[in-house]
Structures are given as structure tokens and as C-alpha cells.
């Protein structure tokens, strides 16, 4: 699981479309329309991902995404391995801001929590999938949240239909060499 934000930017003038020998042209002026937050859930071995667009990135938003992951997307899973960075809201304690204690306990027990090392968020495969999303879908001006939701949903459907998986080749032995300063010395 990971997240990013997207600044919503509208054109103030109609762009000139591309034609043979000439790229599309956009005016440097634009209108800011706020930002949106994107949570990505990625199951790399299944080739499945889901992107949720929210107004903010708060502990409550995070908790609701985890409940959806548990109850809607993987209801039959005994345990869900959750790999994420060390952001302050990425803690089981965030569940208490959204749910009663019994629900927090139920959800917290469904997850096996793993955090990437400080300055090691690239070890989170969801971060890589966010990079693909940014390159294939978000690398242009998007004016409003509804358009963003529609575009991201189309990207998600396309990637899921292809069952695009992560070809992760970084092993534990590689980590011990490359990240030796992060491992404790016994």
C-alpha cells in the first residue's frame, strides 16, 4: 500500500492539438483546482491493484482503506501482509480514529504489518506501481476530481485485465549487501 497526491490543474486556454511534425502545445497559464490523494493497493503476485481517490490523506482515510482491503477486496484471506512506508498515519493506532475498539481489534488482527526502512520506500512495490500510474495516466493536466477518478479507474481496469505483476528481483541477500547500514550488527 502507498499513496501520492495529484494537483488538479485546468487549462485556461484550449491547447493546440498535435499534428504531423508538430507536438501539442499547451499555454503555460493554468488554473489550480486543489489536490486529490490517491491510495494504491497492490497485490503483486496476483497482478491486482486498486486506486482510491480521496480528498485528503488522514488517519481516518487510511483506516477506511484498510477496512475495504480487508472486507471488500480480500474477505476470505486469513492474513493480509501489508507492506508500506513509515508515514505517521500508517500505524494500527490510526484505526482508533475511525472505528470502535472491537472493530479495530478485528481489523488489526487481519494484517501482518511490515514497514520499509527509512529512505527505503522504493522497496515498497506499490511505490513502483504508483510510478507506472504516474507515467501512463497522471503525467498531464487533469482539471477535477471526477475526471481523475474516471481516468484512474480506466487505468486500473486495463492493468488488472492484463494481470500486470511486479517482476521483483531484489532478494534478502541483495538487501543485506545494499542496505547493510540498516541491518543491526549482532
- 107 three-class SS: helix
Q: Cell for 17?
A: 492539438
Q: Given this model, what pLDDT does residue 27 score? A: 79
Is pLDDT at 109 greater than 80 in this prediction? yes
Confidence band of 186 (pLDDT split at 50, 70, 90): low
Confidence band of 183 (pLDDT split at 50, 70, 90): low
Q: Given this model, what pLDDT does residue 176 score? A: 74
Q: Given this model, what pLDDT does residue 91 score? A: 86
Q: What are phi and psi of 34, to 5 degrees?
A: 90, -165
Is pLDDT at 11 greater than 70 in this prediction? yes
Of 96 and 177, the one with more pLDDT: 96
Asked whether the beta carbons of 50 and 174 are under 8 A apart, the reply is no
Is pLDDT at 75 greater than 70 in this prediction? yes
Q: In this prediction, what percent of the chain has a pLDDT beyond 70?
A: 95
Q: What is the mean pLDDT of residues 12-32?
A: 85
Q: In this prediction, what percent of the chain has a pLDDT beyond 90?
A: 55
Distances in Å between the Cα of 43 and the Cα atoms of 30, 165, 183 are: 36, 8, 26
Q: Write down the mean pLDDT value for the chain.
A: 88
> What pTM was computed for the model?
0.81
Q: Given this model, what pLDDT does residue 123 score? A: 64
The DSSP symbol for 181 reads G
Distances in Å between the Cα of 185 and the Cα atoms of 118, 142, 173, 179 are: 17, 48, 15, 12
DSSP 81-105: EEEE---TT-SGGGGGGTS-HHHHH
Of 88 and 80, the one with more pLDDT: 80
Lookup result for grid cell 488522514: 58
**pLDDT tens per residue, range 118-171:** 766 556 788 889 999 999 999 988 999 999 999 999 999 999 999 988 777 777
Amino acid at each position: 500500500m502507498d499513496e501520492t497526491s495529484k494537483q488538479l490543474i485546468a487549462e485556461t486556454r484550449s491547447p493546440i492539438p498535435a499534428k504531423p511534425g508538430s507536438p501539442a502545445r499547451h499555454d503555460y497559464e493554468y488554473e489550480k483546482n486543489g489536490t486529490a490523494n490517491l491510495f494504491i493497493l497492490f497485490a503483486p503476485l496476483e497482478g491486482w491493484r486498486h486506486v482510491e481517490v480521496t480528498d485528503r490523506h488522514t488517519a481516518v482515510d487510511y483506516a477506511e482503506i484498510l477496512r475495504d482491503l480487508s472486507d471488500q477486496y480480500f474477505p476470505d484471506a486469513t492474513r493480509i501482509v501489508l507492506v508500506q512506508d513509515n508515514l505517521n498515519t500508517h500505524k494500527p493506532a490510526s484505526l482508533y480514529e475511525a472505528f470502535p475498539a472491537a472493530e479495530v481489534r478485528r481489523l488489526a488482527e487481519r494484517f501482518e504489518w511490515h514497514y520499509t526502512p527509512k529512505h527505503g520506500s522504493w522497496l515498497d512495490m506499490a511505490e513502483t506501481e504508483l510510478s507506472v500510474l504516474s507515467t501512463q495516466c497522471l503525467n498531464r493536466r487533469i482539471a477535477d476530481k471526477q475526471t481523475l477518478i474516471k481516468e484512474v479507474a480506466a487505468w486500473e481496469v486495463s492493468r488488472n485485465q492484463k494481470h500486470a505483476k511486479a517482476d521483483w528481483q531484489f532478494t534478502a541477500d541483495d538487501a543485506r549487501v545494499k542496505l547493510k547500514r540498516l541491518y543491526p550488527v549482532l
